[in-house]
Structure 1
Amino acid sequence: MKLFSTALLSSTLVGASVAVAATTIPPKPSLTIQRVVTAMLDGKTTERLEAASSTRPGDLLQAGSVLTLSGKEKGARFTVPVPANTTYVPGSARASRGVRVTYALSVSGPFSATPMKTVTVQEGGKAVQKEVPAPQNEYRAVRYDLTGLSGTVMVGHRIRVN
């Protein structure tokens, strides 16, 4: 069974890019990676977060960042790659109010609320290429648009170790 070090995973996520206009100081994110553990409590499924010094295939991880913004950052974006050997968990992105979340099929984009991909389908006996929404589990990057926000902003999403 493969064990992955969260240090490697963390370094990949910390390598996330923060882009802002050249005249401002970029926000400095702090990153946490925690394992999501589910358990039954009084007949209900509950979740708790715990430190993850290593991971195994199937582990569910929560990556979260806290950014402190002055509100003067123009075009501030925080892009977090979905590391190799992990899969973005569909619908798991969460962010403070006012943060716009977009996704891409590669770290370099393009980013949109619903990334599209080209597929080949058969129509009338001919192969035809069509643009269709990509499944969320194919997303390779999550971008948080922080423009105009001030104070403490929290962003995060979940990934599953392959």
Structure 2
Amino acid sequence: MNVSLTAPLILTLVGASLAAAAPGTPPKPTLTVQRVVTVAVEGKSAERLEAVATTRPGDLLQASSVFSLSGKEKGARFTVPVPANTTFVPGSVRASAGVRVTYALNPAGPFSATPLKTITVQENGKAVTKEVPAPQNEYRAVRYDLTGLSGTVTVGHRIRVN
């Protein structure tokens, strides 16, 4: 079953960048969403990125943004929600040196390097509520803090279509 997620995904990502814009934030980024395909090259597996018009469950997508920064931006953040019907791929964030990355279990936050979730467990026959680190595949937003950086800055991560 083919699902056209690309347009909503791009609109979600671009909308996120504009919604996060405030005085001193970076200029609008160049946004690229591509499908990650594994191919054989000289008998070895390699990844190739290709344009994507429609998606299917199981597809791996890479979202990347490029910023041109002056270094004078203050509070410059770029928040990218993980769209519905997709899952953040643990360990997939790639960012230029100096970019601080935080995550959230809800697109509105709160953001932290390791978001916590509340669980209830049984201890000595009693229900006990605890906060524990959430698995990365439960992240629903990624925030890139670009404050103080200058030049070309690249950020990105991968998501899998459910």
Q: Same fold (TM over 0.5)?
A: yes
8 Å contact kept, 1:20–1:74 = no
Alignment of 1:37-116 (within 5 A): 37-116=37-116
Amino acid of the structure 1 residue aligned with 2:53: S
Task: Provide the TM-score with structure 2 as the length reference.
Answer: 0.94
Describe the superposition over 1:51-90 as per-residue Cα deviations: whole angstroms up to 9, x where unpaired.
0011000000000001111111111110000000000000
Q: Which deviates more from structure 2 when the two are superposed, residues 40-49 or residues 76-85?
A: 40-49
Structure 1 residue runs without a partner (length 5+):
none
Distance 2:148 2:11 in 1: 28
Distance 1:61 1:108 in 2: 23
Cα distance, 1:128–1:6 mapped onto 2, change above 3 Å: same
Report what 2:4 is aligned to.
4
Structure 1 counterpart SS, 2:7: helix
Structure 2 counterpart SS, 1:16: helix
Q: Which deviates more from structure 2 when the two are superposed, residues 136-145 or residues 36-45?
A: 36-45
Amino acid of the structure 2 residue aligned with 1:7: A
Q: Which deviates more from structure 2 when the two are superposed, residues 71-80 or residues 39-48?
A: 39-48
Report what 1:136 is aligned to.
136
8 Å contact kept, 1:36–1:62 = yes
Structure 1 counterpart SS, 2:58: coil
8 Å contact kept, 1:82–1:139 = yes
Describe the superposition over 1:111-132 as per-residue Cα deviations: whole angstroms up to 9, x where unpaired.
1110000000010011100000
Amino acid of the structure 2 residue aligned with 1:9: L
Cα distance, 1:29–1:137 mapped onto 2, change above 3 Å: same
Distance 1:48 1:143 in 2: 26
Report what 1:13 is aligned to.
13
Structure 2 residue runs without a partner (length 5+):
none
Task: Provide the TM-score with structure 1 as the length reference.
Answer: 0.94
Q: Which deviates more from structure 2 when the two are superposed, residues 40-49 or residues 142-151?
A: 40-49
Structure 1 counterpart SS, 2:8: helix
More strand by share: 1
